[in-house]
Structure 1
Amino acid sequence: MSPNEIFISVDIETAGPIPGEFSMLTIGACDAYRPDRTFECALKPTSQNFDEDALKVTGLSLERLGLEGLEPVEAMSSFAEWIHGICEEAATPVFVGFNAPFDWSFVNYYFHRYAGGNPFGFTALDVKALYMGATGSSWSETSSKQIAKKLRPRSSGDHNALHDALYQAELFRAVRSIAAATR
């Protein structure tokens, strides 16, 4: 691990499958190697579009978030400030996600739309793909349930963005140790 890279586990919950048409509703993040350093916020919806299953699994309400959530500009500015605050001078923040393409697409869209740019740049590290490479598993063996059976993490996911970010940070550290042991 390079001292110039800070791995940040990020999880989000959304109102649907794609940014722009559906809202990002919550963000949870932690420093993957210092999980006591966390960020969490809820956002006001940017539209009333929603996928019923997406809201059902999270228990989030567009109406409630409309009253209690942060405006996207404030949320993304706060998130960017937190990222810069945990990165030492000249350190590069690395977005770590479990199914990173999904989460990163929303985070990237929101950073560009509401904060002028993405502190993570244009890349993300996917724990599922890292696990596949470290273990030689098949793609079908990279679900969180399958990985948890093999790695036996202490925590678990529950569709709370911060809890899930902490859980996937634990998985990330375990996969990195597997990869390091095979070098």
Structure 2
Amino acid sequence: MGDVREVFVSVDIETAGPVPGEYSMLSFGACLVDEPETTFGLTVKPLNRNADPEAMAVIGFTFEDLEKTGTAPQQAMAEFAQWVKAVCGEKGVPVFVGLNAPFDWSFINYYFHLFHGSNPFGFTALDIKAYYMGATGSSWRDTRSSAMSKRLSPNLKGTHDAVQDAVYQAELFRLTRELGFKK
């Protein structure tokens, strides 16, 4: 058991709306928190055309484009599961890390179970916002990425590109983790 290591995987998604099943996950990206150059990302064919106009305004995709060029959900989740397994190796346990992890994890979990049969991350996720709040004693309001960036001074910023945002979130998590180590 001592040989098992936790592998922190930053994950970000872009969706057509707030609820998995009712709305589609349109893209997702991931990177290793401690090796952010190791990335994975795909666009996904939509399940339907349900959309929150505000969500669609920021993501830069159209349903028409994704229906033509997106990866089928079953294939997308199989490829993501293979990537997670490969980057974790035999003795690595993947830990899902997200900025507002409950939202991102809910879609990833739904898609993994619906299209792949299981979720390699299991049934938990590490939320950077909650971690930051605990490490800094901040208010919940101050866990917005813009407020976190002011305090942590990351080199990157969010862009609504799922892979880039996963890398950005990984940086925020590393910087927050360093705050916790300084105590």
Is the pair's TM-score, using the shorter chain for normalization, greater than 0.5?
yes
Tell me the SS of whatever aligns to 2:179. helix
Aligned partner letter, 1:80:
A
Matched, 1:20 2:5: no
Partner of 2:41: 40
Aligned partner letter, 2:119:
N
Partner of 1:96: 97
C-alpha separation between the residues in 2 aligned to 1:62 and 1:120?
A: 28
Runs (4 or more) in structure 1 with deviation over 3 Å come to none
RMSD: 0.9
Aligned partner letter, 1:67:
K
Partner of 1:51: 52
Which string of whole-angstrom CA distances, capped at 9 and with x for unpartnered residues, describes residues 51-110 of structure 1?
A: 111010111111100000000000000000000000021211000000000000000000
Please list, as runs of the form range in 1=range in 2, the aligned pairs for 1:30-179 lying within 5 A after superposition: 30-179=31-180
Give TM-score, length-normalised by structure 2.
Answer: 0.97
Tell me the SS of whatever aligns to 1:134. helix
Give TM-score, length-normalised by structure 1.
Answer: 0.97
Count of residues in correspondence between the two structures: 181
Query: % of aligned pairs identical?
Result: 54
Aligned partner letter, 1:20:
G
Structure 2 unmatched ranges of 5 or more: none
Which string of whole-angstrom CA distances, capped at 9 and with x for unpartnered residues, describes residues 11-55 of structure 1?
A: 000000000010000010000000111001000000111111101
C-alpha separation between the residues in 2 aligned to 1:156 and 1:3?
A: 32
2:4–2:93 Cα contact (<8 Å) kept: no
